[in-house]
Amino acid sequence: MPIGGFSPGNSPALIELENVSFGSANVLTIELGGVDRGTEYDALDVSGMAVIDGTLNVELIDGFVPSLGDMFEVITFGSQSGDFSYSGLHLDNGLALAPSITENSLLLAVVPEPILLLEVNTKNPFNVTLKGDLGQDVAINSYQITSDKGSLDPTGWNSLADQGFEGDYDGNGTIDGADFLKWQIDGGTPAQLAEWEAHYGNSGPGSGWEESGGVGTNFLGENFLLGDSTIGAGASIDLGEIFDKQPGNPALSEDWVFSFRIADGTILPGVVSYVSGVAAASAVPEPTTCTLALAALCLAMSRRRAT
């Protein structure tokens, strides 16, 4: 079991292992020097079980600068449990490496910064978690999730509006001292307090999150019309039990596209990761598959933004 530092080699290499278990103190260093697996970037092939813990650290070598859309299959495995914490994901060109786990591999995909991720539990209770960028707060004012197959379940949606995410914790449409009191009573988080402070005094339509019109099995979305709302670095926000698994062929359900609009109006693609476990936010999920949403959805989002 690697417990200190472990890397496939001093230059890019492909390492084959039967089973591997990374301890909590381990640092797995992956060097990226190009897009050719095993010759230009490090990779591990694990034929059996990979138990993942510790840190995966990414280092760029030989002057390599990843481009938008590049994909690196860092680890393949027969089965897997756990996840890494990550370092070295943010690049210097407005891009970042987004980690995602499929049924048999761990991938790093190059996407625009910042990164927001939807983690979808494909087993009962089918809950979905919105996860913040690991390295920075992200101010957003809109997001949408679409499914051509109709695998969204709005009846289980725990929207940001329902949660009073912008600081309206008592749900009366005004952000005031009563919301601070409820935050105290409920044992709220520092991130929730920051949201309350940022929007204190706001009231009326558009002053917080509002669900978009036309929500259903193909579309869920929300807008923050008069300002922005911050998804804290490393945040984990429960959006409810909104994954509607298709009986007999769950792969048909896994077609979600997720996008969000940041404070300057830019619409960015998010990452959708499908996991199989008791809860989507579980520390040790058993992943099944994931989809990287890289579609440009500016027109669709702007059409659904309330006027």
Provide the 3-class DSSP secondary structure of residue 214: coil
Structure tokens belonging to residue 70? 């590049």
pTM of this structure = 0.66
Domain with CATH 2.60.40 in the chain: 114-166+208-307
Q: Which helix (H) or strand (E) holds 305?
A: none
97: amino acid identity, one letter = L
Tell me the backbone φ, ψ of residue 219, rounded to 5 degrees: -155, 135
How far is the C-alpha of 244 from the C-alpha of 125, rounded, in Å?
A: 10
**Per-residue confidence band for 278, with pLDDT thresholds at 50, 70 and 90:** very low
Burial 3-14 (b: 16+ CB within 10 A, else e): eeebbbeeebee
91: tokens are: 């690049």
What pLDDT digit, counting tens, does each position of 166-193 carry? Answer: 677 776 767 788 878 887 888 877 877 8
Asked if residue 10 lies in contact with residue 17, where contact means CB atoms within 8 angstroms, the answer is: no
**How far is it, in rounded angstroms, from Cα 101 to Cα 80?**
9
What CATH number belongs to 114-166+208-307?
A: 2.60.40
Token pair recorded at residue 220:
């869920």
Could you report the per-residue pLDDT of 32-86, keeping only the tens digit for each? 999 999 999 999 999 999 988 889 999 999 999 999 989 999 999 998 888 788 8
